[in-house]
Amino acid sequence: MNRRALGIYGVFFYLFLYFPLLIMLAFSFNNARRNVVWRGFTFKWYGRLFHDTELLWALATSLKLALAAAAVASLLGLLASYALARHRRFRGRGFYAGLFNLPLMIPEIVMGVGLLSFFAKARIPLTFWTLAASHALIALPYSIGTIRGRLLLLKDSRLEEAAMDLGATEWVTFLKVTLPLAWPSILAGALLAFTVSFEDFVTTFFVAGVGVVTMPIKIYSMMKFGVTPEINALAVCLLIFAATALGLNHLSISNKTLDSEA
């Protein structure tokens, strides 16, 4: 494949990937209640978005839920990854490694029904925190995958052995050597866990307690009456926030690279 054909393929690939986002962006300014026919340009849906307390409350619930799930998944993922990467000769290691990946292989609807049955049998009331625990369980494999991969790459650096040879305990070595080296993967795993929790619908549908309404559940309930461009406006705001965060992260990495080269 020559360079021109590869370039054409790349253009069509990115159009296929991002064209729905462009349509969503355009229809967030559509002066019509249905996303079918263009009726003119307007900003009214953005105004309605910031005055829709129920939708904003659902968004806040999703954000808090995703933060809680990401924090729990990152902590447990770090501990599990450290055990699997550094202590490689304990009994049942392969079984535990496979068990951590089990949520990736089980259909999400089966996971939701199973969690609901467990909470019902254990007589645990469904609350925000049971939902956060369920999301942390689903997001745990993503956290373990990123952190464990980073720790395995660091296994030949001998920095931990050098720290312990100089008198540091295993706990001090973990805090001052392993944790800073693994921090980029911990952050990456937390972002993946945050994303998985934020967009989850199936498990939330089964496990969410009374009064716990996340953004996917709210949008699902709105579909019974028709989704207005207000949802498009919300999606555009989230997209702008994500793009800004990625841009700032790229800028900070570029500045660090320039400083190190200088």
Co-location of 212 and 235 in the same domain = no
pLDDT for position 172: 82
Co-location of 31 and 78 in the same domain = no
Co-location of 148 and 62 in the same domain = yes
Is the predicted pLDDT of residue 256 greater than 70, yes or no?
no
Is 48 part of a structural domain of the chain? no
Co-location of 38 and 143 in the same domain = no
Domain count, the chain: 2
Is the predicted pLDDT of residue 2 greater than 60, yes or no?
yes
CB 226 within 8 A of CB 34: yes
Q: How far apart are the first and last CA of the chain?
A: 40
CB 115 within 8 A of CB 138: no
Read off the CATH number of the domain in which 206 is found. Answer: 1.10.3720.10
pLDDT for position 258: 55
Q: Which long-range contacts (CB under 8 A, 24 or more apart) does 16-25 make?
A: 21/239, 24/232, 24/235, 24/236, 25/232, 25/236, 25/239
Average the pLDDT over 96-122 and give the result. Answer: 86
* Radius of gyration (C-alpha) of the chain in whole angstroms: 23
Is 109 part of a structural domain of the chain? yes
Is 181 part of a structural domain of the chain? yes
Of 124-133, 192-201, 249-258, the range with the lowest mean pLDDT is: 249-258
Co-location of 184 and 68 in the same domain = yes
Report pTM: 0.80
DSSP state of 149: H
Co-location of 161 and 99 in the same domain = yes
For 169-204, b where at least 16 C-beta lie within 10 A, e where not — what string?
Answer: eeeebbeebbeeebeebbebbbbbbbebbbebebbb
- Which range of residues forms the domain containing residue 33? 1-42+228-262
Co-location of 65 and 127 in the same domain = yes
Co-location of 69 and 181 in the same domain = yes
Per residue in 14-38, pLDDT tens? 888 888 888 888 888 888 777 667 7
Percent of the chain with pLDDT over 70: 91
